[in-house]
Amino acid sequence: MRRIQAAGARKNFSSLVNKSAKGERIKVTRYNKTAAVLISKRDLERLEDCEKQVAASSKRGTHD
């Protein structure tokens, strides 16, 4: 996963968005700590699906 400082991310935002749209995951750091992550729409959809499954599982009272 690529890491980039926030100041550099501001300067190259359009390029970073294009790269993340193609599947590259990019950590944006501030003071050498991860502040945000750019991910593709596909990765976001997968994450949301996982969250829905966990929520449904906890409503049923089961944990896989």
Write out pLDDT tens, residues 13-34. Answer: 999 999 999 999 999 999 999 9
> Domain locations in the chain?
2-60
Inter-CA distances, 7 with 29, 31, 45, Å: 9, 11, 28
DSSP state of 48: H
pLDDT more than 90, % of the chain: 88
CA dihedral 10, 16, 21, 27 (to 10 degrees): -80
The CATH code of the domain at 2-60 is: 3.40.1620.10
Please give the model's pTM, rounded to 2 decimal places: 0.79
What ranges in the chain are assigned the alpha helix state H?
6-11, 13-21, 41-60
Q: Are 43 and 51 in contact (CB under 8 A)?
A: no
